[in-house]
Amino acid sequence: MRTGITQAPFGTLPDGETITQFTLTNARGMVARIIDFGGIITELHAPDREGRLADVVLGFDTLEPYQADSPYFGALIGRYGNRIAKGRFTLDGREVALPTNNGNNHLHGGAPGFDKVKWNATVEGDSLRLAYTSQDGEQGYPGTLDVTVVYTLTDDNELVVRFHAVTDVATPVNLTQHSYFNLSGSGDILGHVLTIDADTFVAIDGESIPTGALAPVEGTPFDFRTPRSIGSRMEEDDTQLRNGQGYDHCFALNKPHGKAMTRAAHVLEPRSGRVLELFTEEPGVQFYSGNFLDGSLAGKGQVYAHRSGFCLEPQHFPDSPNQPHFPNVILRPGEVYRTESRFRFSVDASTDRQG
């Protein structure tokens, strides 16, 4: 079996630049395909309990849909993952205005964000290194931010994502990876069994902006501390579910003091036996249940219907620049932004094969 990283063309941008797809293969046959446009994971092939591989991320066959209609499928997100209320915040006494690309609010770094730029790619052994310089004033953000992201597919079937950034002026930074997963490879994700290690979550208003409160999950549809299916309480009459049109909330992870790597989430797809575990150094994880997928997008031989994918986005909390009691997101000159997350794939051989 051939391991390592190979590359092939994946289309051309309007300015004539060629986009390259890099294929990472480990010794156990798992495959990740990543392009240098948006740092997008276009394919991720993981084995089921019989050893059969299936592509477990949503995406497209060609470059053009990623440029146009993609709802951040597989992409790197920055400078700020999630929402900033009204696209405004005050930093060191200065009001900063960002474009509003999600109703009244700023989402995922603006348009275009890091998901729609070409990254400088280099292969370093078994890792793919992507680099991008966000210039001062890009999408309204202060300072020049130099970002690197390293993807590594280990022989333990872990896709490791390492972020690094430095700036010359104080600026908010909240980088994340935005893959949509479906561990069965098709259909909806309502039967996936989810565990999230969080006693509280970030409550939101009707525009998906934090109210400032960390709400207890106890007694609510947001209690995933013990395993249960994503769809089991989705239709309950709950204000937070209505505000997010389903799950679209940041869970505040139960973490020890410091920035230790901890397991944030565990997902089991019962029929295939595929398991995804997320380990992260981040304080939160945004769980999104594919509420806005509506069948208008298609790729890789399937239509992306309502709730046909879920996201687990390791990150700091939304709207943190306006919420001083949330963990700090301001990066200053001389500091280094460094964080790592691991998406570990395995199988549960004991699961009922009939689901």
254-265 tens-digit pLDDT: 987 666 899 999
Token digits of residue 355:
């689901």
Q: Which pLDDT score is estimated for 256?
A: 73
Half-sphere exposure of 85 (CA within 13 A, CB side): 17
CA 315 – CA 10 distance, rounded (Å): 29
Q: What does pTM read for this prediction?
A: 0.96
| % of the chain exceeding 90 in pLDDT | 95
Give 111's contacts (C-beta < 8 A, 6+ positions apart): 99, 101, 139
Specify the length of the chain in residues. Answer: 355
Residue 313 is a catalytic residue: yes
Q: Which pLDDT score is estimated for 2?
A: 63
Q: Which pLDDT score is estimated for 354?
A: 37
Q: Are 158 and 30 in contact (CB under 8 A)?
A: no
Nearest alpha carbon to residue 346 among 284, 288, 268, 240 = 268
Q: Are 172 and 141 in contact (CB under 8 A)?
A: yes
- Residue 231 is classified by DSSP as T
- Note the Cα 156 to chain centre separation in Å: 21
Nearest alpha carbon to residue 189 among 244, 232, 241, 242 = 232
Q: Which pLDDT score is estimated for 353?
A: 42
pLDDT over 80 (residue 27): yes
239 three-class SS: helix
Beta strands in 39-180 (DSSP E): 41-47, 53-55, 75-77, 83-84, 88-91, 94-97, 106-107, 120-124, 127-134, 145-153, 158-167, 171-172, 176-178
Mean pLDDT of the chain: 96
Nearest alpha carbon to residue 342 among 282, 270, 272, 278 = 278
Q: Are 88 and 95 in contact (CB under 8 A)?
A: yes
Q: Which pLDDT score is estimated for 26?
A: 96
Tell me, what amino acid is at 338? R
138 three-class SS: helix
Q: Tell me what the mean pLDDT of segment 53-59 comes to.
A: 98
Q: Which domains does the chain have, with CATH numbers?
A: 4-347 (2.70.98.10)
CA 323 – CA 161 distance, rounded (Å): 27
Q: Which pLDDT score is estimated for 352?
A: 54
Q: Tell me what the mean pLDDT of segment 58-69 comes to.
A: 95
Q: Which pLDDT score is estimated for 355?
A: 36
pLDDT over 80 (residue 20): yes
Q: Are 266 and 195 in contact (CB under 8 A)?
A: yes
Q: Are 190 and 230 in contact (CB under 8 A)?
A: yes
Q: Which of 45, 106, 108, 178 is catalytic?
A: 178
Q: Which pLDDT score is estimated for 198?
A: 98
pLDDT over 60 (residue 77): yes
Residue 108 is a catalytic residue: no
- Residue 270 is classified by DSSP as T
Cis peptide before 353 (omega within 30 of 0): no
* Neighbour tally for 207: CB within 10 Å: 13
What phi and psi values does residue 40 have, to the nearest 5 degrees?
-80, 130
Condensed to tens digits (0 to 9), the pLDDT of residues 316-342 reads 999 999 999 999 999 999 999 999 999
Q: Could you tell me the CA-to-CA distances from 93 to 26, 136, 338 in Å, in that order?
A: 49, 18, 26
pLDDT over 80 (residue 98): yes
Q: Tell me what the mean pLDDT of segment 139-161 comes to.
A: 98
190 three-class SS: coil
Q: Which pLDDT score is estimated for 293?
A: 97
Q: Which of 138, 281, 282, 313 is catalytic?
A: 313
pLDDT over 90 (residue 183): yes
- Note the Cα 24 to chain centre separation in Å: 19
Cis peptide before 94 (omega within 30 of 0): no
Bridge-based pairing state of the strands 41-47 and 31-35? antiparallel
Q: Tell me what the mean pLDDT of segment 107-118 comes to.
A: 97
pLDDT band at 1 (very low <50, low <70, confident <90, very high): low
Condensed to tens digits (0 to 9), the pLDDT of residues 340-352 reads 999 999 999 875 5
Q: Tell me what the mean pLDDT of segment 207-232 comes to.
A: 98
Q: Which pLDDT score is estimated for 255?
A: 85
